[in-house]
Amino acid sequence: MQQYESATERGLIYGYVLDGHGGGRQVSRAELPLLDLTPEETLWVHWDRGVPEAQVWLRESSDLNEFACDLLLEEATRPRIVDLGAERLLVFLRGVNLNPGAMPEDMVSLRVYIEGQRLISLRMRSTKAVEEMRADLAAGRGPKTSSELLLALAHYMTDRVDTLIGGLADRLDGMEEAIEEDERSIPDQHQLRTLRRRAAGLRRYLAPQRDIYAQLVKLKLSWTVADDADYWNELYNSLTRNLEELELVRERISLIQEAEHRRMTERMNRTMYLLGIITGFFLPMSFVTGLLGINVGGIPGSSAPYGFAIACLVIAGIALFQWWIFRRLRWL
């Protein structure tokens, strides 16, 4: 019997009944069918969607239709909002991945079903947002209604985006300062590609999430709080600012890469130019020495005691004449 009870608890990470005053009590999976909520109370259950028992509960005991369950359990999703009618919503959010060993831009997903007095959330990987929400409830300063709970989860899911994007900008600042201080400083191309990939990965999820917040600003349901729109608008503005910063990061990376490419091109052109000048300078002299080095009879000066000196003077004269020509043509 004990083994059966432990199995039925699998999949439920946290279950809370919000008391409507900022606090809440934790409930187990066995208590869920027995709950009788008062008008002030709200049920919040947080599941691990990768556990089969959680999937069974969602399909058999949550009173959600098959369409809603399929969306909540699908493998890949993007930030969006789905209106199920009858003042019920599905909201898919993304947050910064702060799990050990994970890449922050590999954002974690939180799937939410919300109605008047109930909110069901599902995740595959752990999220700091849920832990912070538990701390707020324990301290008595948590959300009071389902709409405030959704708002708080969205806030915590995107709270650390500012810090992450600020870190990307700081790394770029360091690279730009190094280039300004020393023109010969070569930016780390691998680091630039990493920053560009992170910026693109963040933008991929933050842009549609901003659209979600814009929709929620306009949302008017019987269970929403009057000032919810103001808070959703602040989240919308915050994400807009973050997206603008990401776009600026991408532009700065492009400028650094273009500057480095231009510098390499100029250095290569200068090298090729010098090689061309040197080749053109020595070509006539090489022709003269090659002509005089022909192993046939009749070479002028071959028998004269001062033939070598005369040949050197002729070559020196050719060199001076070339130098004058190159200076006149402004090649030197």
In angstroms, rounded to a whole number, what is the distance separating the alpha carbons of residues 47 and 238? 28
pLDDT digits (tens, 9 = 90+) for 94-119: 887 766 665 666 678 889 999 989 99
pLDDT single digits (tens) 284-322: 888 888 877 777 767 777 777 777 788 888 888 888 888
**Res 90 pLDDT > 60:** yes
Contacts of 38 (CB under 8 A, 6+ apart): none
pLDDT of residue 99: 64
% residues pLDDT > 70 (the chain): 92
The whole-number pLDDT of residue 186 equals: 75
pLDDT at 74 over 50: yes
At 120-167, the pLDDT tens digits run: 999 888 778 888 888 888 888 889 999 999 999 888 888 778 888 888
Q: Which residue has the higher pLDDT, 25 or 201?
A: 25
Give the mean pLDDT of the chain: 83
Torsion from C-alpha of 202, 205, 210, 212, nearest 10 degrees = -160
CA torsion 70-239-210-221 (nearest 10°) is: 90
- pLDDT for 205: 81
